Structure 1
Amino acid sequence: MGTLFGTDGIRGRVNQYPMTPEMALRIGKTAAVFFRDKTSHKHPKIVIGRDTRLSGGMIESALVSGLCSQGADTYLADVLPTPGVAHLTTHLAADAGIVVSASHNPFYDNGIKFFNSRGFKLSDALENDMELWILDDHKKPPVIEDKAIGKIFPVSDAGMIYSNFLLNALPPDIKTRIGGMKIVLDCSNGATSTIAPNLFSRLGVEVIPLSTSPDGININDACGSQYPETLAKKVLASGSDIGFAFDGDGDRLIAVDETGNILTGDQLIAIFARFYHQHHLMENQTVVTTVMSNMGLGKALSDMQVTHLKTTVGDRYVMEQMVASGAHLGGEDSGHIIFLDAHTTGDGILAALQFLRVLVSENTVASQLANVMTVFPQILMNVTVNAKPAISDIKGLPEAITIIEKQLGDTGRVLIRYSGTQPMCRIMVEASTKTEATHFCGQLTEIIKIQIGT
């Protein structure tokens, strides 16, 4: 990562560097030049989609101006989930896809992230190359002749193209067996607010919608995958079979079973892993997650005799390792779940459909599926920080970690890292009991607050 790109593109508070119209214009110009050098097209084809936050149109317009000024043709998908943009990029044989979104962040943040022509997120090396172009004042894009500027094309059927792609990922017999189920969908007032309810209704599902009325400000506001408690209450009150919660840009999934229990990304991965394993759909018996995965997932995969590979935090690092290892299944506890045999990136709606596939194939209820994994008590605390020194340089922290790790032994672990998209330090402790995990996490959090907290 450089100074501009984080773990998932460029992100920040709107109207503050780097998330300003001026920077978006500059990023658009650079992207046009960058992708023009990688295509045989006279005019690079760039797909752009966004989520529902208030600033989306502003940032998108600046990007489009920059792209067109350098000869790129832009294809506007309007509001579309991030994985929908990835699919549309390949569907239209475009040279790149751009998403204007800050994912699960509040409305006042926004971001810009890129997909290559194959629908994969850019590697660190490519992002670093682009960052050098963007930040180098001496690398000004050339002036394009007036007849060579790019055009703007609206993609009015983008949502239908993406929906059909998702439905085609389900076996025909599964589609007919899903009909009649009652499902609660929490769309986080984000990019899935229209597409998800319509798609599940097409399958004959009784949909109970939550947070499907975006106003530009209420995206991720006490709803969606970050706040599944409301979904759990609704599942119980409505007697639904299952509940699904997406985040603002639709690349995450958290589920709630029929008893109101919340199923995290790790639990969902364990469920999918067992299904893939039992039905011989896992060619090399490998699952890829990040270092943040719960220890219970590792034990469940070990019991299945499935190889468990771990990467640094970030779904694109998971994807890169999946491609390198030949794994078909991977993801993060946060709800990014990747089915490489179906898509090139994490997809919340696709994961929900795959969960229904497992549910009807096994002819059981969601709570029974969750028994595949015992979740170790895990406490995660966040501290807003004014700087990001090396963890080992924070006064008193290394010593405290050593003491706590000795007390935990083989029954727990400590993981401390900085967010790649926010000025935040994340402290995670797993232990044999929730009380112990909370106690140790609190100790470490207090040290960080004193030393570098705002």
Structure 2
Amino acid sequence: MGRYFGTDGFRGKAGVGLTADHAYQIGRFLGYYYGRGHRATIVVGKDTRRSSYVLEYAISAGMAASGADVHLLHVTTTPSVSYMARNGAYDCGVMISASHNPFYDNGIKLINGDGEKMDEGVISLVEDYLDGKLMLDGEILEQLPMASGDAIGCIIDDVAGREQYAQYLISLVQHSFQGKRVALDCANGSAWKLAPQIFEALGAEVHTIHANPDGLNINMDAGSTHIGALQRYVVENHMDVGFAFDGDADRCLAVDENGNVVTGDHIMYLYGCYLKSLGQLANNTVVTTVMSNFGLYKALDEVGISYEKTAVGDKYVYENMVKNGHCLGGEQSGHIIFSQHARTGDGILTALMIMEAMLAQGKTLTQLAAPVTIYPQVLINVRVHDKKTAQDDADVQAAVDAVANTLGDTGRILVRESGTEPLIRVMVEAPDHDQCQALAQQVVDVVIAKGHAV
């Protein structure tokens, strides 16, 4: 974790933890860093929260002041910025969004010219500049030189870039959606225009909810983190399927025709099976994080699909996929990566691929997701004096081993350190919720008895 940037960008309360000055200075750095030796070009997108406009103008001004040309996609999705960064010959991309957070938060996500999350080395340099101690090319640069004359960059509206991305997604679909009734929960966020436009172009009868952003209602009781409204809508209006996006549309959860939630774990299973049936599941492997449900692994075992587990974060999923040549991975939360089509989680793409799997196989979403039984899960967070000391304690480890032995192949226990807080997280999955609670508490009791808890 960096001083400002976490695993998913620089995030904070807009105007407090993340200010227009932060954005301007980040823009100044990016314009200068990528403009050494040529005029940099940078693509910028934003979500619908009110503060996104302030941050968009500030970061763009900083880039142009350093000599970069800036192309504004305006309100768009994080995956579309990734797509344009790698296909539009840009030096890098920026998405202004706090994803699923409330409207009063915001964030700055940095994307490299390959459409991937920015390299840690470059992010460290950004942070050094924000702290006034940038060392670059053997020189300390407390302030970067300002461009002047015709070296000053220009800022260009590039709505066509959004259309290019939409056409790309449409081109990936092999089946008509004609006759399918599809509900879309756009979370009053980035997907509010783009997702309905794409589904309508493919022939679906589209019904939208939470597609009236006002700058303050993004993610408010809406989208993939508040999916109850979509569940009710699908059942009451006899939809064939529903899809819920988050604020920047890099994740998607689904609702089947009976109103049941289809998680990222279900999606990885059903699409992994579909690719396997086509002989296209690279290495016969799906990449998950350690927080995927035990039920997913049981279902994958049943159909002979292998899996790998990474640390929590789609960044780590993607790194594993690239390193090992896997083509499908993701998180329970709905960040799904189809590496043959995208370099990041893409909510709209995920929805389209689910539709493809349904239509190609002539099955409902209920039928495709049915083999995955989601096991009850209990997660207890314990605030501790020192995370590593607590987790490495021999008695704590013995308690964890005892729970694992009790569960055998009927469940699992996972104890891990929080990446951002002084917590260790004790998670147990088992067929029965009360059993989960009791077994997790056994480990917590040892942590407390050994004096690690605060």
State the TM-score, normalizing by the size of structure 1.
Answer: 0.89
Matching of residue 158 in structure 1 with residue 157 in structure 2: no
Distance, in Å, in 2 between the alignment partners of 1:340 and 1:221 is 31
Mapping 1:6-405, distance limit 5 Å: 6-17=6-17, 19-37=18-36, 42-137=38-133, 139-147=141-149, 148-171=151-174, 174=175, 176=176, 178-380=177-379, 389-390=386-387, 392-393=389-390, 398=396, 404-405=403-404
Q: Report Cα offsets for 1:152-192 as digits up to 9, x if no partner.
A: 01112233222101101112xx1x2x111001111111100
Q: Which structure has the larger Rg over C-alpha atoms?
A: 2
Going from structure 1 to structure 2, the CA distance change for 1:311 and 1:125 (only over 3 Å counts) comes to: farther
In the TM superposition, what is the alpha-carbon distance from 1:376 to its structure 2 partner?
1.9
Identity %: 37
Going from structure 1 to structure 2, the CA distance change for 1:391 and 1:206 (only over 3 Å counts) comes to: farther
Distance, in Å, in 2 between the alignment partners of 1:394 and 1:295 is 22
In the TM superposition, what is the alpha-carbon distance from 1:441 to its structure 2 partner?
5.5
Distance, in Å, in 2 between the alignment partners of 1:402 and 1:351 is 37
Range with greater deviation from structure 2 (93-102 or 214-223) = 214-223
Contact 1:33 1:141 in 2 (8 A): no
Q: Report Cα offsets for 1:262-317 as digits up to 9, x if no partner.
A: 11101100000000001111232121111111122222223333221111111121
SS in 1 for 2:211: coil
Contact 2:386 2:422 in 1 (8 A): no
Unaligned 5+ residue runs, structure 2? 134-139
Contact 1:53 1:216 in 2 (8 A): yes
- Letter in structure 1 aligned against 2:387: A
Distance, in Å, in 2 between the alignment partners of 1:15 and 1:82 is 22
- Letter in structure 2 aligned against 1:255: A
- Letter in structure 1 aligned against 2:412: G
Contact 1:392 1:398 in 2 (8 A): no
Contact 2:47 2:190 in 1 (8 A): yes
In the TM superposition, what is the alpha-carbon distance from 1:414 to its structure 2 partner?
2.7
- Letter in structure 2 aligned against 1:117: G
State the TM-score, normalizing by the size of structure 2.
Answer: 0.89
Going from structure 1 to structure 2, the CA distance change for 1:194 and 1:388 (only over 3 Å counts) comes to: farther
Distance, in Å, in 2 between the alignment partners of 1:352 and 1:434 is 31
In the TM superposition, what is the alpha-carbon distance from 1:80 to its structure 2 partner?
0.4
CA RMSD between the two structures: 2.7
Q: Report Cα offsets for 1:397-427 as digits up to 9, x if no partner.
A: 947756655554442213444255x998765
Contact 2:391 2:416 in 1 (8 A): no
Distance, in Å, in 1 between the alignment partners of 2:441 and 2:224 is 24
SS in 1 for 2:282: coil
Going from structure 1 to structure 2, the CA distance change for 1:105 and 1:438 (only over 3 Å counts) comes to: farther
In the TM superposition, what is the alpha-carbon distance from 1:388 to its structure 2 partner?
8.8
Contact 2:66 2:147 in 1 (8 A): no
SS in 1 for 2:34: helix
Going from structure 1 to structure 2, the CA distance change for 1:319 and 1:185 (only over 3 Å counts) comes to: same
Paired residues, number: 441
Mapping 1:401-440, distance limit 5 Å: 404-405=403-404, 407-410=406-409, 411-418=411-418, 428-438=427-437
Going from structure 1 to structure 2, the CA distance change for 1:326 and 1:413 (only over 3 Å counts) comes to: same
Unaligned 5+ residue runs, structure 1? none
Range with greater deviation from structure 2 (81-90 or 372-381) = 372-381
